[in-house]
Amino acid sequence: MKKKLRQERLIYLKSLTKNEKNQQETAILKQFFSSQTYQKSRTIGIYLAFSFEFDTMKVIEHAIKDGKRLVIPKTLPNHQLIFAPYDKKTLTLSRFGIMEPTNTDFVSEIDLLVVPGVAFNAQGFRIGFGGGYYDRYLADFKGKTVSFVFKGQLADFTPEAYDINVQKLYIGSSNDKANQF
């Protein structure tokens, strides 16, 4: 069931037009940047997205202007993640086709973690890309967690026993003019 749902949502993500994606991202960013969660955070863990995902560079650029410290994930053996300071000069393409830091000076004090996903249910449980990296990391994570969700990523599914939900979903709406910048 997870595999089928993952495939369906990936098709949806890849089918979004640039305009649809931009409208939903704008609504999500407005909600997120005005939130207390963002305002109070000092160190933000955030992934570098595939082209079909939510454009996290918009968050990174805004957060840098706001003086936030940004850390990004690096995958390790045994499905482990660490987070290292974001520095675009020290990135390399990972075996998964995403940019990762070459530096392994990991940061453990993260106030806010932006968690990727392909599908999400109403309780904040997610289906990712299938490696279990984030579920393992979240098992011991003490900070706040959020995800940026296009409306077509919402789905009704029952999580596995080891799944850990995200605390807050910021959901886009392409036809809600009140949520636009």
Q: Quick one: tokens of 61?
A: 């650029």
Beta carbons of 169 and 13 less than 8 angstroms apart: no
Q: pTM of the entire structure?
A: 0.92
List the structure tokens of 164: 């850990």
Write down the pLDDT at residue 65. Answer: 97
Q: What is the mean pLDDT of the chain?
A: 92
Contact at 8 Å (CB) between 103 and 87? yes
- Could you tell me the domains of the chain? 2-179 (3.40.50.10420)
CB-CB neighbours of 131 under 10 Å: 12
User: What confidence category does residue 181 fall into, taking pLDDT thresholds of 50, 70 and 90?
Assistant: very low
The 10 Å Cβ neighbour count of residue 166 is 23
Tens of pLDDT along 72-117?
Answer: 999 998 999 999 999 999 999 988 888 999 987 899 899 999 999 9
Cβ(179)–Cβ(30) under 8 Å? yes
Q: Cβ neighbours of residue 133 under 8 Å, at least 6 residues apart? A: 73, 75, 79, 80, 81
At residue 178 the predicted structure's pLDDT band, cuts being 50, 70 and 90, is: very low
Q: How far apart are CA 114 and CA 88, in angstroms?
A: 18
